[in-house]
Amino acid sequence: MHEFALIEGIIGIVRDSALQNNIRKVERIKLVVGKLSMALPESLQFAFEAFKAEEELFHHAVLEIEEKEIVCSCGQCNRSFAVEDSVSFICPWCASGSVEIIQGRELYIDCYEGEEC
């Protein structure tokens, strides 16, 4: 489960930022996770619950995850479309396989909120 390593890194980034900004308690962390990132939201939540118990800064923090769908752009007809099946990347409008993934690979900290000292 690489989600534990991801959460460990995320907690480290937020911890460093919180300390630099005089935050004494982190209340919420928002992540954006694309469906192609291979990070499972349920596993991220599980890992977060395990890690937050170890650090007072995060004891009451909530992890919010916004999941991004897979969206492609067709190089043939220039239309964008959502992909339901991550195995088949064929344009539903013109049946071209010349597509570019424009959404779905995201994995980043969107923001966090906390209480100042």
pLDDT in tens, the chain (117 residues): 699 999 999 999 999 999 999 999 999 999 999 999 999 999 999 999 999 999 999 999 999 999 999 999 999 999 999 998 777 899 999 999 999 999 999 999 999 999 998
Helices (H) and strands (E) in the chain, counts: 2, 6
**Pick among 3.40.50.12160, 3.30.420.40, 3.30.2320.50, 3.40.50.1370: CATH of 3-69+105-116:** 3.30.2320.50
Of 80, 84, 87, 85, nearest to 101 (Cα)? 80
pLDDT of residue 1: 62
DSSP-derived pairing of the beta strands 99-103 and 80-83:
unpaired
Whole-model pTM: value is 0.89
Domain map (residue ranges) of the chain: 3-69+105-116
pLDDT of residue 86: 75
